[in-house]
């Protein structure tokens, strides 16, 4: 037995870490019949003088993007009513209020979480293009199509950590676990613990021997650290 129809939901948060309950929600009228997912890796060409080849040097994994087409219909022919019994124009405006308009309390648009089946993404609205396609005689819109693009909302360092790439040429983000020491964590990343003082300086640690469980540390690329100490 299959479950009932589940509408795609957009939850809005006013905290960057998505803590607490959503401050607003929006359920789409019709689930999209398709969506586009863009995954992009950024490389930096490095070319030696007199060489025509351009090796691609890994830069970063860019935030994923998701593009959807939403339909708002106020004619009633579909047998479905607009969310909250609003008109088309008001429903579009609510969508923008939840997703893209400035929230005066945090001085920016809300942080969003998309939920639809296996798709769960923490993101922000990147763009929205609205086309009104049917009207009442007085000009009131009866139908609208909205193209929305959402961009994944994760720090670059977090995406690198998620990829589980242990290259010492990338910035890594690690959370201190019980029993961790800075030399031990440094050795896991670089294969040696000789850089632990540089890592301490990079993270502005005054008491690196007293790491706290749950503390987040960043381990920079080798090229960003000072030279290996002599001796």
Divide the 231 residues of the chain into consecutive groups of 10 and give the mean pLDDT of each group.
76 91 94 93 67 66 92 83 78 96 95 92 95 94 96 65 54 87 88 87 86 89 51 38
Residue extents of the structural domains in the chain = 9-154, 170-224
Strands (E) located in 41-118: 41-45, 56-61, 65-73, 111-116
**9-154: what CATH class?**
mainly beta
The pLDDT, as a whole number, for residue 224 is 52
Burial profile 41-72: b = 16 or more Cβ within 10 angstroms, e = fewer: eeeeeeeeeeeeeeeeeeebbebbbbbbebbb
Alpha helices in the chain (DSSP H): 88-99, 156-163, 182-190, 196-202
The pLDDT, as a whole number, for residue 107 is 95
The pLDDT, as a whole number, for residue 109 is 96
Global pTM value: 0.64
CATH of domain 170-224: 3.10.350.10
- Length of the chain, please? 231
The pLDDT, as a whole number, for residue 228 is 43
Alpha helices in 38-104 (DSSP H): 88-99
């Amino acid at each position: 037995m299959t479950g009932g129809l589940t509408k795609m939901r957009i939850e809005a948060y006013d905290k960057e870490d998505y803590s607490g309950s959503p401050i607003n929600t929006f359920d789409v009228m019709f689930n999209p019949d398709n969506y586009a997912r863009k995954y992009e890796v950024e490389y930096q060409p490095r070319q030696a003088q007199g060489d025509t080849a351009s090796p691609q040097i890994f830069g970063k994994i860019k935030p994923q993007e998701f593009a959807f087409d939403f339909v708002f219909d106020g004619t009633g022919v579909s047998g479905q009513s607009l969310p909250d019994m609003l008109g088309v124009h008001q429903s579009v405006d609510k969508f923008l209020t939840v997703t893209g308009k400035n929230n005066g309390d945090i001085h920016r648009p809300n942080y969003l979480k998309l939920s639809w089946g296996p798709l769960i993404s923490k993101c922000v609205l990147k763009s929205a293009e609205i086309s009104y396609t049917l009207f009442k005689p007085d000009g009131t819109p009866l139908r609208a199509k909205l193209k929305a693009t959402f961009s994944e909302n994760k720090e670059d360092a977090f995406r690198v950590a998620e990829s589980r790439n242990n290259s010492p040429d990338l910035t890594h983000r690690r959370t201190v676990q019980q029993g961790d020491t800075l030399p031990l964590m440094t050795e896991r990343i670089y294969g040696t613990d000789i850089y632990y003082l540089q890592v301490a300086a990079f993270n502005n640690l005054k008491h690196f021997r007293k790491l706290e469980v749950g503390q987040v540390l960043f381990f920079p690329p080798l090229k960003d650290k000072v030279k290996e100490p002599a001796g």
